Amino acid sequence: MSAAITCASCKRPLRVPENVLGQLVQCPLCLDEFVAQADPAAESAARAAEAPIKRAAARPQPVTAPVQDDEVTAVEEFEEAPEWVEPAVEATPQRKSAHVPAPVKALVFSVLVARDPDRVLRGRMEAELTAEGLYLRKPRQAPVFAPVGGRVLYLGANRLVVTVEGREVELTVVKPWTSVYHLARDTAGFLGGKGDFPNGRAYDVPWYLYALPPAFMVLALAAIPLGLVTDSWGGSWGSAFLWCLVAAVVAGG
**Residue-number span of the structural domain to which 118 is assigned:** 106-203
160, pLDDT greater than 90: yes
Buried b / exposed e over 227-250, threshold 16 CB at 10 Å, is eeebeeeeeeebbeebeeebeeee
Q: Worst-scoring range by mean pLDDT, 29-33, 39-43, 113-117, 120-124?
A: 39-43
What is the pTM (predicted TM-score) of this model? 0.46
3, pLDDT greater than 90: no
Looking at residue 23, its amino acid is Q
114, pLDDT greater than 80: yes
Rounded-to-integer distance, Cα 185 and Cα 173, Å: 10
Residues 148 and 214 in one domain: no
Q: Last residue of a domain, which of 185, 203, 221?
A: 203
3 state DSSP class of 222: helix
Note the pLDDT tens digit of each residue in 164-207: 999 999 999 998 889 999 999 999 999 999 999 999 888 988 76
Rounded-to-integer distance, Cα 227 and Cα 97, Å: 74
Residue 86 forms part of a structural domain: no
Residues 233 and 154 in one domain: no
Confidence at residue 58, expressed as pLDDT on a 0 to 100 scale: 61
Q: Which residues, in sequence order, are CB contacts of 6 under 8 Å at separation 6+?
A: 12, 13, 14, 39, 41, 42
Note the pLDDT tens digit of each residue in 45-101: 777 766 655 555 566 666 555 555 555 555 555 555 555 555 555 555 565 545 545
Residues 189 and 238 in one domain: no
Q: Last residue of a domain, which of 20, 51, 74?
A: 74
Q: What is the pLDDT confidence band of residue 23, given thresholds at 50, 70 and 90?
A: confident
123, pLDDT greater than 90: yes
Residues 115 and 189 in one domain: yes
9, pLDDT greater than 90: no
Confidence at residue 133, expressed as pLDDT on a 0 to 100 scale: 96
* Domains contained in the chain, number: 3
Residue bearing the bigger pLDDT, 240 or 37: 37
Looking at residue 204, its amino acid is D
Q: Is 39 exposed, middle or buried (0-12, 13-18, 19+ CB in 10 A)?
A: middle
Residue 19 forms part of a structural domain: yes
**Percent residues over pLDDT 70 in the chain:** 58
Q: Last residue of a domain, which of 53, 74, 95?
A: 74
